[in-house]
Structure 1
Amino acid sequence: MAELKGGLTILVLTLVSLVLIPLQWLAIKLKLPIRRKLPQIWHRIATRLVGIRVKQIGVPATDRPLLITSNHASWVDITVIGSLMPLSFIAKSEVSGWPIFGLLAKLQRTVFVNRTRRSETAQVADAIAERMSAGDAMVLFAEGTSNDGNCVLPFRSALLGAATRAVGQDETSKVWVQPMSIAYQGLFGVPMGRAYRPHVAWYGDMELAGHLWAIFTRGALDVVVRWGEPVLVDRETDRKALTRQLEVEVRAMTIASLLQKPVEAEETDEIPPFEFFSNAQKPVKAGA
């Protein structure tokens, strides 16, 4: 029965893609406003087909320009976040060459980052800032890699410079950065627990094809997305201090979601180890 569900999910999603992909390609070429909305429609259909239930706590900012900073556990994050609102992602350059995923990423107008060339960081930050200034909400997985879903890794500050670059030279300009947490809480309506969370997480040396099939056949995921308070950024904002602030808040929100408790603010200046379960696994594979 699970195999039948997986096969039907792939079939229907393929048919939907054959309709929406040409429409999105045309919308991008003609710069039609609907180019922002069509990817969200695809992601919403995908989450319903797979059986992913998303609970939002808090609301996304309506102000623009907007940079969203999130933790990252799986390729499933893309579909979950993409189903919530019109937005685009910032991804590692390797994703552009992936079969199917690369095409979908390009159609969502993803900005690709070559992390092996630090000399390109300023150029990429400018590209992100330009997209933000044009009204696009951009999502940055600030850890720079994916993990096993049980932890939040230290945030990297390099691409957060895009927020201050989007301010430009206009002292009246306002740019917003909003922390967001995504946590996988349940499987088939039952609390997932750390032992089963890697069923969703994609990290280390996991094969993508097998992981995709497992999600399509078993699905039925409960996901919690928490939105933090947007932070107003100006030309004087310290990028590293902003990175630290966002990391602490995303970690607190993720812990709250995993433990199903209220968010507790950090009371110390020391950032705790990235394992908030004593035997959390260290992820080693860069995510999307």
Structure 2
Amino acid sequence: MSATWYGDGPEPEPHKLSFGDWLRVAWRGSLLGIVTFGCLALLLLVRLIERPIFGMRRPVTPYITRFVCTAAFVILRMPHRVRGQIMTHRGAFVANHSSWLDIFTLNARKRIYYVSKAEVASWPGIGWLARATGTVFINRDRREARAQTALFEARLLAGHKLLFFPEGTSSDGRRVLPFKTTLFAAFFSEALRDVLWVQPVSVLYRAPEGAEARFYGWWGDMGFGANLLQVLAARQQGSVEVIYHPPLRVADFADRKALAAACEAAVRGGFPAELLSD
């Protein structure tokens, strides 16, 4: 991951929560915590059986993850829409990154495994969930490039659908930041180039009526706790839409830069004009 994106303007000030807001935070947060960490405990128990039998393959536990992510939108009462066909090819997904909600948004419809910066593994709560659900942790260190490529190959050839955010950081959800090309290089290894496809995905958040347009964005110095409270407290939620663009065959591209550019163009093309900032 790169340095945090700070944007070209001030971060929106969180509004002061009313008594009713705190009630919504309490019941939504409690339900979300019970479902998330209750299912995490179940996942870890199932994994004790699944791992020695199936090894890297995970035929059962990803369904637990998908249940949690789908339930999150039911608890929030937030519409979650999907357009396009999810690819059946062996390969990976790339998407724009706007919010911590992306983790729930993209896992709710497809069995995927995230690629994340290594320090996330040590974050309280989020790190536990990431490790338990099979996240691939990487360091931005050239000395580890070969080992990371080998790890990508093993996971992709095992049938895992990996997903990463090529922007390298999260934005305010009103733009698509330039895609970094580094991780695309792994797809051009001898073992993967001719068998792998990459599917670009656009994730579009629409703010609740009357709320700041960047309501769901999480960037800059915004604290996770404060952002979480604002989302939980919303009387009426906005919505999220996921657009799956046609998958791209890696072998059809000359190099990582060409593939990254095509993916970026597809993701950016999924944003309607009213959602993009100038």
Report the equivalent of 2:151: 127
Matched, 1:240 2:261: no
The CA deviation at 1:38 is 1.2
| Contact kept in structure 1, 2:207 and 2:216, CA below 8 Å | no
The CA deviation at 1:92 is 1.1
| Contact kept in structure 2, 1:183 and 1:225, CA below 8 Å | yes
In 1, the alpha carbon distance for the partners of 2:158 and 2:37 equals 29
| Contact kept in structure 1, 2:153 and 2:191, CA below 8 Å | no
Aligned-residue Cα RMSD (Å) equals: 2.1
Report the equivalent of 1:267: none
The CA deviation at 1:235 is 9.1
Report the equivalent of 1:179: 200
From 202, 220, 224, the counterpart of 1:208: 224
Count of aligned pairs: 251
| Runs of 4 or more above 6 Å deviation | none
Matched, 1:72 2:121: no
In 2, the alpha carbon distance for the partners of 1:36 and 1:201 equals 26
Please give the per-residue CA displacement for 1:75-115, whole angstroms capped at 9, x wherever unaligned. 11111111111111111112111111111111111011222
* TM-score of the aligned structures, taking structure 1 as reference length: 0.81
Report the equivalent of 1:37: 63
From 7, 12, 33, the counterpart of 1:14: 33
SS at the partner of 2:243?
strand
In 1, the alpha carbon distance for the partners of 2:135 and 2:177 equals 23
Unpaired runs of at least 5, structure 2: 1-19, 52-57
| Contact kept in structure 1, 2:205 and 2:238, CA below 8 Å | yes
Report the equivalent of 1:81: 106
Alignment of 1:1-288 (within 5 A): 1-29=20-48, 30-31=50-51, 32-64=58-90, 66-115=91-140, 117-165=141-189, 168=191, 173-187=194-208, 190=209, 196-218=212-234, 220-234=237-251, 237-254=254-271, 256=272, 259=274, 277-278=277-278
In 1, the alpha carbon distance for the partners of 2:177 and 2:210 equals 23
Please give the per-residue CA displacement for 1:230-258, whole angstroms capped at 9, x wherever unaligned. 0112397411111111111111112x2x5
User: Percent identity among equivalent residues?
Assistant: 28
In 2, the alpha carbon distance for the partners of 1:122 and 1:151 equals 32
Please give the per-residue CA displacement for 1:107-148, whole angstroms capped at 9, x wherever unaligned. 111011222x23223322321221111111111101111111
* TM-score of the aligned structures, taking structure 2 as reference length: 0.83
In 2, the alpha carbon distance for the partners of 1:88 and 1:52 equals 23
Report the equivalent of 2:12: none
Please give the per-residue CA displacement for 1:16-67, whole angstroms capped at 9, x wherever unaligned. 2343112211333433511221111111111211122111111210122x21
